[in-house]
Chain A
């Protein structure tokens, strides 16, 4: 293995981590507001479909991203209707939202594209290469704009949560909604907005896969990445800064297993596929032991 192998590995790590960063940051906003959003898998899925369809129809990839954000926010709104307004059990409303959004995306895909023999495809985003002339390390920076944005979003998310009044409201409704209510905060409104922000972020993660990397929309495009984000948030101990490390760790193992598969090691390829998940479980078991989430997660708030 030569040096270029490692450079390639690092570059791939960031690429794989990108949708996870969006998804986990999205989930972070929901959970810090006290809502476990299991609608994440479906929200990423509809984001990837809407992003693709709008980019295909308008010819503008960025309009696709924008449309994905809107669809994700609507997904968050649906989730809030059940989990916040009606106080339905959060597991039920989350899984329901995922089923609903997944079904809806598949249905709309059929409506728009019918049954075709070849996958509809578009020309995806091109990677930026700001430091192309940098020797050796240059390829690491060959990343999509959405990857750069994802990394910039982490300090931004921290700033919103810890340095704005709205962030203080989010944290307080996630810890003790009674206290927030008594302090004059509209718990429902704050939770709804947090779910919409979260949904928007998740959907970008989905859109990155369809219009960033692949250039097409397939039914297995998310393949459980949303659930990985749910695990990463625990690994990150609900802190924005640690979201990056969790996503990069998973990205690294995933990128590594893709490369190991091609080295001709005599192992069934399923073993490689399982590797990132095994590492996630181990990392969770170690890092998640002392993790304590926001106290009000899973508890619907209702004034008597």
Chain B
């Protein structure tokens, strides 16, 4: 008997079939990975199980009983909990209030009482959270623990985790895995969605791979390898993308001179950062998240003003300029938060031309026909799975990122600013994005790549700068960089005098 069995699930969005007769079985007490490319239908399938979507066809069995799940309330009553890709917490409320929300008996809400109960539950499940803290003040990792506790507090026997590690730093991933393994021993069944194959191989017992909305197979971990899984996902072999050829000695295009900035709390976030990126090279910025990377991106994009220092693009001073001016100066951005990089309510075509609307305006009217034509060429060129008239928010993560890439790169910018360009992307899409960045390098653009993924940094960069507590603590040539050296720099263990 299975903890959960889904049979013949079909879900359509318009004429798109997101889930196409999917069968899925979750055994009691197993950690079961759900793998697949962006847009394969993983989230959709799990949202159906949690009652957030209704399947058009198919049936669901929980502990052998056929059930009808029409809302999360039903799912919760059946012992199913879900930690979503985008957290579903109420930031101004306390941890305790979030945990008991909709699940507190009686009429009265006694803050001390719920805090005590939640603290007890946290203790019982071994999850470290402060029950009286406001969720607004918590880090991403802490918020995720609140989500897990919320599910367990509702007596979840099945826990769905949608890309839980995409937002975590390595140490937090370790804590999460310990917690999951302990809960598994106590009989919890887990559905684990991830794009990181090494994680899947570490923690899961069985793996189900979805492709284009279909189940292409469920396998035991010991019967497969990472490359076999990648092949199942994308339907072909994948080869890592790496930089080829030596760095061309180009002219410096982007120059950052002694730039300092403060974060939104007024604390120093960048301390006299100086960098140069030449035409035809990729400069990687490595570092543990929260060491000034996002402030650096903001300052370079024009969404934050530096407190001192200078930024030059091809000799033009863009320090403190607004984003439009910076775009005109030849800077193309691939922002860290792709949901912030597109306007969800607008269509793909409108998003595609958002930065260049003037070019599509005639006598104050938008030339929609030309916008659609342009969008169609880019959709083809960048292999985006979407129609020009789709709302951007309905795109899967990978396709949204491709949209941004297309918008930015089609303009042939002199400087490409890529912040976490592959976060949350599947193997195929990651490979694609990296290939595109290398193409930009070939074309002679100056590429600044900010990433927390060391493998990515090492595979693509000609030079690697390490940022720690807002300072550049070292710049290494690619051939002299090793993970060990970079790791030491990233943790502030030592500083290196620049050779490059």
A178 proximity list for chain B (CB < 8 A): 88
Q: Is the CB of A165 within 8 A of B72?
A: no
**A184 contacts which of B89, B92, B103, B106 (Cβ < 8 Å)?**
B103
> Given A165-B106, A184-B76, A304 and B53 touching (CB < 8 A)?
yes
Query: What 1/0 flags go to A221-261 for Cβ under 8 Å of B?
Result: 00000000000000000000000000000000000000000
- CA gap between A172 and B87 in the complex, in Å: 14
B100 proximity list for chain A (CB < 8 A): 168
Q: Which of B79-133 contact A (CB under 8 A)?
A: 82, 84, 87-93, 97-98, 100-104, 106-111
Q: Which of A171-190 contact B (CB under 8 A)?
A: 171-172, 175-176, 178-186
- Determine chain A's interface SS by DSSP, over half rule: helix
Whether B71 is near chain A, meaning CB under 8 Å from some CB there, is yes
**A176 contacts which of B82, B91, B107 (Cβ < 8 Å)?**
B91
- CA gap between A140 and B38 in the complex, in Å: 69
Q: How far is the CB of B207 from chain A (nearest CB, A)?
A: 26
* Residue from A164, A165, A304 whose CB has the most chain B CB atoms within 10 Å: A165
Q: How far is the CB of B74 from chain A (nearest CB, A)?
A: 8
Q: Is the CB of A179 within 8 A of B90?
A: yes
B98 proximity list for chain A (CB < 8 A): 179, 183
Q: Is the CB of A164 within 8 A of B102?
A: no
Q: How far is the CB of A193 from chain B (nearest CB, A)?
A: 14
Q: Is the CB of B53 within 8 A of A164?
A: no
Q: Is the CB of B52 within 8 A of A182?
A: yes
- CA gap between A181 and B103 in the complex, in Å: 12
B89 proximity list for chain A (CB < 8 A): 176, 179
**A180 contacts which of B101, B106, B110, B150 (Cβ < 8 Å)?**
B101
B97 proximity list for chain A (CB < 8 A): 168
Q: How far is the CB of B409 from chain A (nearest CB, A)?
A: 30
A175 proximity list for chain B (CB < 8 A): 90-93
Whether A98 is near chain B, meaning CB under 8 Å from some CB there, is no
- Determine chain B's interface SS by DSSP, over half rule: loop
Give the contact-size bracket for chain A: 20 to 34
Q: How far is the CB of A7 from chain B (nearest CB, A)?
A: 40
Whether A169 is near chain B, meaning CB under 8 Å from some CB there, is yes
A117 proximity list for chain B (CB < 8 A): none
Give the contact-size bracket for chain B: 20 to 34
Query: What 1/0 flags go to A11-45 for Cβ under 8 Å of B?
Result: 00000000000000000000000000000000000
* Residue from A162, A179, A303 whose CB has the most chain B CB atoms within 10 Å: A179
Whether A62 is near chain B, meaning CB under 8 Å from some CB there, is no
Q: Is the CB of A180 within 8 A of B102?
A: yes
Q: Is the CB of B93 within 8 A of A184?
A: no
Number of A-B residue pairs at CB separation under 8 A: 82
Q: Which of B28-71 contact A (CB under 8 A)?
A: 50, 52-53, 71
Whether B73 is near chain A, meaning CB under 8 Å from some CB there, is yes
Q: Is the CB of A176 within 8 A of B90?
A: yes
A183 proximity list for chain B (CB < 8 A): 72, 88, 98, 101-103, 150
Q: How far is the CB of A295 from chain B (nearest CB, A)?
A: 8
Name the residue on B nearest A173 (C-beta): B90
Name the residue on B nearest A303 (C-beta): B52
Query: What 1/0 flags go to B135-161 for Cβ under 8 Å of A?
Result: 000000000000000100010000000
**B108 contacts which of A164, A172, A184 (Cβ < 8 Å)?**
A164
A169 proximity list for chain B (CB < 8 A): 101-102
Q: Is the CB of A171 within 8 A of B90?
A: yes
* Residue from B72, B84, B92, B109 whose CB has the most chain A CB atoms within 10 Å: B109
- CA gap between A166 and B82 in the complex, in Å: 23
B90 proximity list for chain A (CB < 8 A): 171-172, 175-176, 179-180
Whether A139 is near chain B, meaning CB under 8 Å from some CB there, is no
- CA gap between A181 and B101 in the complex, in Å: 10
A304 proximity list for chain B (CB < 8 A): 13, 53
Q: Is the CB of B101 within 8 A of A164?
A: no
Whether A276 is near chain B, meaning CB under 8 Å from some CB there, is no
Whether A163 is near chain B, meaning CB under 8 Å from some CB there, is yes
Q: Is the CB of A186 within 8 A of B88?
A: no
Query: What 1/0 flags go to A154-165 for Cβ under 8 Å of B?
Result: 000000001111
A172 proximity list for chain B (CB < 8 A): 90, 93, 101-102
Name the residue on A nearest B13 (C-beta): A304
- CA gap between A162 and B110 in the complex, in Å: 9
Q: How far is the CB of B313 from chain A (nearest CB, A)?
A: 36
- CA gap between A183 and B88 in the complex, in Å: 8
Name the residue on B nearest A174 (C-beta): B90
- CA gap between A166 and B104 in the complex, in Å: 10
A176 proximity list for chain B (CB < 8 A): 88-91
**B102 contacts which of A162, A163, A184, A303 (Cβ < 8 Å)?**
A184
- CA gap between A163 and B154 in the complex, in Å: 21
Q: How far is the CB of A271 from chain B (nearest CB, A)?
A: 42
Q: Is the CB of A186 within 8 A of B73?
A: yes
Name the residue on B nearest A171 (C-beta): B93
Whether A76 is near chain B, meaning CB under 8 Å from some CB there, is no
**Can you show 29 pairs from A to B with CB atoms below 8 A apart?**
A162-B109, A163-B109, A164-B107, A164-B109, A165-B109, A167-B109, A168-B93, A168-B104, A169-B101, A171-B92, A171-B93, A175-B90, A175-B91, A175-B93, A176-B88, A176-B89, A179-B87, A181-B71, A181-B72, A182-B84, A182-B88, A183-B72, A183-B98, A183-B101, A184-B76, A184-B102, A184-B103, A185-B73, A304-B53
Please provide the 7 A-B residue pairs with the shortest distance between their CB atoms, ordered closest to farther. Answer: A184-B73, A179-B88, A182-B88, A185-B102, A183-B102, A183-B101, A184-B102
